[in-house]
Amino acid sequence: MFFILSKTLYYLVMPMVWITVLLVVALFTRNQKRKKRCILISLLMVLFFGNEFIVNEFLLLWEKDPVAIQKLEPHELGIVLTGVTNTEVSVKDRVYFTKGADRVLHTVQLYKSGKVKKILISGGSGLVLGEKIREADQLKNVFLYCGIPEKDLIIENASRNTWENALFSKRVLDNVRIKTTPLLITSAFHMRRSEACFIKAGMNVDIFPVDIYTRDRKFAPDKLFIPSESAFSKWALLIHECLGFVVYKMVGYA
């Protein structure tokens, strides 16, 4: 039940959903005062949530800062979390990446530069309905294509969410002798919840945030005043992650 709720609840707090509701109410209400109020509020929401500068400031507060590779101490194991592919494509002869492909590409860079010696790929299928394709198995193939030996890859392909990533990774590593603290690799926006889950599961980790959504602060007219559709998608991402963090705290996962 928690798994299903975690995948559906956040839609109720998305800005675009509320803007749509307000416009629908304005379209069908006969009360002129209510109509004007709904239109005004929806317009203000478009200006606020469509502002690239504002959402960037909130993301700067939330995302974990990137770590310079050259300053990173070598680790025996890197744990990379999945959630970066599109499995709902009919042709299945390749891996379709979403924006989070940095999780894979930067992990390859860490391995090739000697910063991690082995890679644990954690993640099954996060779909509620449809064909359950285990994402860790897909990413294993990508790492093999990149020239990483199979002996250096460890697979955990049963987890469906961040808490299970931590819990099941801990179970896998209980049977693997690792002397140094593992390096957790996931998106910067996702790192707060991920790190908290791994600590709660009894595993201390160092962190390597990737897939950065923020940009250097820029006081340009297009960022300050012109609404952007990308700002809405960033808000959706941020709200989803903040809501997930709060829910995980409430149920004791983080």
pLDDT in tens, 153-169: 999 999 999 999 999 99
Mean pLDDT in residue range 105-123: 97
In this prediction, residue 211 carries a pLDDT of 96
Could you tell me which residues come within 8 angstroms of residue 32 by beta carbon, excluding any fewer than 6 positions away? none
The class level of CATH for 69-210 reads alpha beta
> Could you read off the pLDDT of 61-78 as tens digits, one per residue?
999 999 999 999 999 999
Contacts with 226 (C-beta within 8 Å, 6 or more apart), sequence order? none
Alpha carbon distance 217, 21 (integer Å): 33
Asked if pLDDT for residue 116 goes beyond 60, the answer is yes
Mean pLDDT taken over the chain: 91
Q: E strands along the chain, which residues? A: 75-81, 116-122, 153-156, 183-187, 206-210
Phi and psi at residue 75, to the nearest 5° = -125, 145
Q: Which helix (H) or strand (E) holds 42?
A: helix 32-49
d(CA 115, CA 144): 18
What is the per-residue pLDDT for 153?
97
Mean of pLDDT values over 172-178: 86
Is the predicted pLDDT of residue 119 greater than 70, yes or no?
A: yes
pLDDT for 129 beyond 70: no
Please give the Cα distance from 144 to 146 (Å, whole number): 5
pLDDT value of residue 132:
65
Tell me what percent of the residues of the chain surpass a pLDDT of 70. Answer: 93
How many angstroms separate the CA atoms of 140 and 104, rounded?
A: 10
Least confident segment among 83-92, 139-148, 160-169: 83-92
Report yes or no on whether pTM surpasses 0.85.
yes
Instruction: Return the closest-CA partner of residue 183 out of 209, 146, 157.
Output: 209
If one compares 220 and 63, the residue with the highest pLDDT of the two is 63
Question: Distance between CA 153 and CA 144 in Å, rounded?
Answer: 9
Quick check: 2 pLDDT over 70? Answer: no
Among the ranges given (30-39, 143-152, 158-167, 168-177), the one the predictor scored with the smallest mean pLDDT = 168-177
Residue 37 clears pLDDT 80, i.e. is over it: yes
Does 130 score more than 60 pLDDT?
no
**pLDDT > 90? residue 192:** yes
| More confident call, 200 vs 225 | 200
Residue span(s) of the chain under CATH 3.40.50.620 come to: 69-210
